[in-house]
Amino acid sequence: MGAIPGLTATMATALLVPVTFFMGPIQAIAAIVSATVMTLFAGDIPSALLRIPGTPASAAYTNDAYLMGQKGRPGQVLGVMLLCSSIGGILAIMVISQFAPSLARVSLNFTSYEYFWLALLGLSSAVLVSQGQPLKGCISLGLGLLLSTVGIDAVVGMPRLTFDSIELSAGISVLPTMIGIFAVTELLRKLPSMRFAQEAPKPLKTDQVFKGTGKLLYKYKGQAAGGTAVGTIVGILPGAGADIAAWVAYAISKRFSKTPEKFGTGHPEGLIAAASANNTSLTGTYVPALVFGIPGDTVTAIVIGVLLMKGITPGPMVFITEAPLVYSVYITFIVASLLMIPLGWLAIRSAGRVLSVPSSILYPIILMFCIVGAYSANNSIFDVGIMLVMGLVAYFLEENDFPTAPLILALILGPLIEENLMKSLIKAEGDLSMFYDRPLAMWLGGITLLIWFFLIFGGVLRKLIFRKPATSGAATH
């Protein structure tokens, strides 16, 4: 599905949810892990062949992948990205499996104070990486928090912002919202360029997949290792995800490159770093999801929903009460990463014909899948309406350069923040110093406040720093 532009890993997971209704918890998570691992790599296929990122995580290196393929090596480009995704995923899960249990033991001491700061830290990080526009990120965050308050208040039991609607009493459903934001928005963006009398494009050649890939990976082994490390670290941060990990890895690789001017021109250096971080970060997102019950990205947000549907509450006790589930996640990641190589090879060989489907046929099929996925969340037509409305809202936001990631994470983490804030205030009896009384809460709170200090005063400080050289230069004249 990732090879079809507009169907992201989140979309693939959302469409897989109805199938998991008939599975056990381990089988359901194994199916989701396998699907998302393959979808993230499959998103690289249209990036290299059509210059259209199949998933948001592929956007960081789309130009390099496409231009490198235009030099006569499209098969080799996809082969490099396939091996980076597979090897990086295996290395990451080996590292994460070692310290995730230790992190779970530490989290057993978490109280409502720590959970409050941790969830708030996730939202703060999402605003911090809003592509240089923290103010617009804050506005998007505020909109998401507002939507998260719709429904019955968990503490008082009074309806809020429901406008006497029974459907809104249960709140805004996360699944239809995410489908609308990711898939419907992409369809609206592509709609002006769609031609109904369009001829099928000529199939592209994608042979010689692994020719020269080993030599290329060895030459840039440092970038591959760095991308794997960045992907693992960024993936663990709540709210980051594969797309942010890919951008961070690409930026770091460019910063320390001897030839940064070649980035964006079909150079493999940044491509290898970002592709390694892509699937690697996916493994890291399961750490906050399983250990703290906080989604590492939108995919694990759906995973948490599936676990809750199966009667399993994510948290540190999962490592004790549901140990087979945790180890099945580790094993599934390794098996899926290994199977990615032969399956990815087959996908690459057939990609030329699949991607030649005219947009007048492709986009209606995508919309049909969106409607099915939104309806299956609660078997409600109202959720289909939510999907369409949120798609329009997200389209308006993105057209005006507002990031949508803070909105989604605020909708997910808003109830968690509110619940733990109310619990903490009740326990503290109004004494705000209790929020910093525990060492871990103090550290989490300090980091969160530091991020917000940077968000508020960072722009002012940058203006003061960069104004001085201009002033001194003017004085010399």
The span from the first CA to the last CA of the chain, in angstroms, equals 61
| pLDDT single digits (tens) 248-282 | 787 778 777 777 777 777 778 878 888 888 878 88
Average pLDDT over residues 104-113: 68
Average pLDDT over residues 6-31: 75
pLDDT tops 60 at residue 474: no
Residue ranges of domains in the chain:
9-114+131-413
pLDDT tops 70 at residue 356: no
| Rounded-to-integer distance, Cα 133 and Cα 128, Å | 8
Q: Which residue carries 């103090």 as its tokens?
A: 442
| Rounded-to-integer distance, Cα 349 and Cα 326, Å | 34
The torsion angles phi and psi of 172, rounded to 5 degrees, stand at -80, 120
Q: What is the pLDDT of residue 12?
A: 72
Beta bridge partners of 160: 151
| pLDDT single digits (tens) 162-204 | 887 877 877 787 778 877 876 787 778 777 766 554 555 555 5
| Rounded-to-integer distance, Cα 57 and Cα 9, Å | 9
pLDDT tops 60 at residue 53: yes
- 98: confidence class by pLDDT, cuts 50, 70, 90: confident
| Rounded-to-integer distance, Cα 67 and Cα 47, Å | 10
Nearest-CA neighbor of 77 among 340, 344, 357, 279?
A: 344
Percent of the chain at pLDDT > 70 equals: 77
Beta strands in 102-244 (DSSP E): 151-152, 159-160
pLDDT tops 70 at residue 459: no
Structure tokens at 114: 């720590």
pTM: 0.61
What SS3 string covers 112-131?
HHHHHHHHHHHHHHHHHCCC
